[in-house]
Homo-oligomer: A and B are copies of this chain.
Amino acid sequence: MSNPDFDLTRLFGTGLPDPSPRFAGFPEFNFIGGHNDPEHIPIEGLIEAAASVLRREGGSLAMYNLGRGPQGYPGLRDFLADKLKRHRGIDCGRDDIMITTGSGQGIDMVSRLLVDPGETVILEECCYAGAINRFKRIGAKIVGTKLDEHGICIDALTTLLDELKSKGVTPKCIYTIPTIQNPTGSILPLERRHALLALARERGIAIFEDECYADLLWVRAAPPSLYSLAPDQVVHIGSFSKSLAPALRIGYCVASWPVLSRLLAMKTDGGTGALDQMIVAEYFTRSFDTHVEHLSAVLREKLDTMVEAVEREFGTAVEMWRPEGGIFLWLKLPDQVDVTKLVKPAAQAGIAFNPGPEWACDPATAKSSMRLCFALPSKQQIKDGVAALARVCFEETGIPPRSANVGNVRA
A contacts, CB < 8 Å to B: 1-3, 6-9, 11-14, 16-23, 25-26, 33-41, 43, 46-47, 50-51, 54-55, 58-71, 95, 101-102, 104-105, 112-116, 119, 172-173, 194, 197-198, 201, 204-206, 229-230, 232-233, 235, 241, 244-250, 256, 258-259, 261-262, 264-266, 268-276, 279, 375-376
Contacts and interface: CB of A to CB of B under 8 A. Distances in A.
A241 B12 CA distance: 28
A20 B267 CA distance: 10
Contact of A258 (B9, B70, B102): B9
A205 B274 CA distance: 37
B1 A33 contact: no
A342 to B, nearest CB: 23
B270 A273 contact: no
A392 to B, nearest CB: 24
Interface of A, helix, strand, loop or mixed by DSSP? loop
Nearest to A173: B11
Given A1-B229, A276-B274, A63 B246 contact: yes
Contacts of A59: 38-39, 41, 43
A170 B61 CA distance: 42
A88 B60 CA distance: 29
A376 B62 contact: yes
A3 B231 CA distance: 11
Nearest to A247: B274
Contacts of A204: 6, 11
